[in-house]
Structure 1
Amino acid sequence: MKMDFNFDDFFKSLDWSKVAVKDGAAEGMHDATDDLLSKSRDLAPLSDGGGTLRRTSGKNVEVSGDEVSGEVYFSATERDKNGEVYNYALITHELGDSFKNPSTPGTQPKYLERPMKENAERYKQMVADSIRRELS
């Protein structure tokens, strides 16, 4: 007795699943980066009252091949007395214990790192839940 299987439909469903997983992961990554951006903006200092640091923040989600990546960034730069450009966002983020007098109550150094660490598991769950929704 001979048995034949045609796997075309099976492989097509795998291709569909791969697309659905990437779509779900991208949607979940957008949700996670939106949340991290919001939380980190609330913690970022308002040094001059103008909110330059908060205004220069943003997020980016990319899908490339089989990878989905997300980033949240702050990109404020300023010039020192000598005209040299320095990364104000990095300096304020890394101030540590020298951050004694925040310009706005409730702001703090590590304004991006802290909410990321505090919510890392939640963000992973957001991506996983979004993939599950896409596959259902």
Structure 2
Amino acid sequence: MNTQDDNASKPAVPTAAELLAATAPTARGGQAVPPGASPSTLEDTLGITESPSARTLRAAADAEPGVRSRSCLIRTDETPGGVRVIVSIAVAYGLAVHEVAHRVRRRVAAAAVDLFGTAPESVTVDVKVVWLDEPADRPASH
């Protein structure tokens, strides 16, 4: 059995250390990934951006009254020069979810344009409402 020939035909699989290094928040010193940049690391190749960028966009969502962001995924690998943001939010019970999602989409898109320096039409924002929180006028119990 010749395992050397078998291994030569298989694509290289990154080690756990390489994956962790590529997705570490400080992998590139906190710089945002410019849209359309050629991939230079595994992180760029997978389209995963750094957490400071995601935190900035989550803060834009959190600025909407009655909203708490839960997660944010930024994709720069789907269309050349484009940015796709998928933000998950919790909305206070009793608010018009559709209207809140629309306002969050506008806030996050504006922040993405500022953050990445792209044209507004190149930014796509998907808002997923994943939870209804306590009513907006009543503090959540701990």
TM over 0.5: no
Return the TM-score normalized by structure 2: 0.34
- Name the structure where strand makes up a greater proportion of residues: 2
Q: Indicate the structure whose relative CO is greater, using CA pairs within 8 Å and at least 6 residues apart.
A: 1
Larger radius of gyration: 1
Return the TM-score normalized by structure 1: 0.35
